[in-house]
Amino acid sequence: MINGEEILSDISARDFSVTYADTYLQFKTRDDDGWYPARVLDVNYTDDSFLLILRKLNGDTVKLDPKDPSNSIKFDWPELGYINHKAHSVYVERTARRQWKKGLRQSCIHVVPTDRRLLIALQEDGIISDGSFSDSAIGELYNPTYTNLKDAIELVVEGEKIARCISPHFAISSCYYLDKPVLMYRNNIVGVIEDNKVLIPDQVNHLIPMLRRIVPNGLHNSILLQP
């Protein structure tokens, strides 16, 4: 936890504006329960003080004095990887740039659905209406919610969801050119789902211990080497 007064005591309003305008940061104030992400819309400043104009993910606009000791700011990036977003899952990674931008901006991240072709086909058929990456997805980056393995398999097999991620690194997904769901690892297919079991080929068997660490012991018998 970083106190705004301590962090910003030597930062000028102009420097803050140049560095963090249009950036998602996390904030904590006396009027809110816990941390919340918000986008810095603008910085209003005079010679000796300044106010941040923020937009929360729900659309509310907030004015915040960053040097008020009761306000705190986190500048850290969230952990990236898979997030559940609407009916599908996307893999989020940092865009390679010669110079890193401070703060999270959508222009600094690369977002890839588990199966882009399937997502496009379902949108064209009117089955899903919107596959865009919205502010709700920014919220998931900061406070991710994962689906347990059993539920993820059931939701995808039954067609209720296109994909569900079970951790930042693993997801269960439908596949455009296969009639069975697949296991994804960092946006690569590494297994197939058959009879509610995850079959993993020997070439990537080193992933099995990683997968078992994130699922309850009772589901370990659902993760098998592909015969």
Claim to verify: residue 90 and residue 201 sit in the same structural domain: yes
Q: Residue 3 has what DSSP assignment? A: B
Claim to verify: residue 46 and residue 146 sit in the same structural domain: no
Claim to verify: residue 86 and residue 187 sit in the same structural domain: yes
CA distance 3 to 1: 7
- Is 159 in contact with 118 (CB distance < 8 Å)? no
Claim to verify: residue 96 and residue 177 sit in the same structural domain: yes
16, 49, 74 - which closes a domain? 74
Claim to verify: residue 150 and residue 168 sit in the same structural domain: yes
Claim to verify: residue 98 and residue 151 sit in the same structural domain: yes
Nearest to 171 by CA among 89, 78, 116: 89
Residue 142 sits in which domain range?
Answer: 81-225
Per-residue model confidence as pLDDT tens for the chain (227 residues): 444 434 555 677 778 888 888 889 999 888 787 899 999 998 887 666 788 999 999 999 989 888 788 888 888 888 899 999 888 888 998 887 665 557 788 888 888 888 777 666 655 444 444 445 677 788 999 999 999 999 999 999 999 999 999 999 999 999 888 889 999 999 899 999 999 999 999 999 999 999 999 988 777 888 888 87
Claim to verify: residue 116 and residue 214 sit in the same structural domain: yes
Total domains present in the chain: 2
| Prediction pTM value | 0.84
Claim to verify: residue 118 and residue 167 sit in the same structural domain: yes
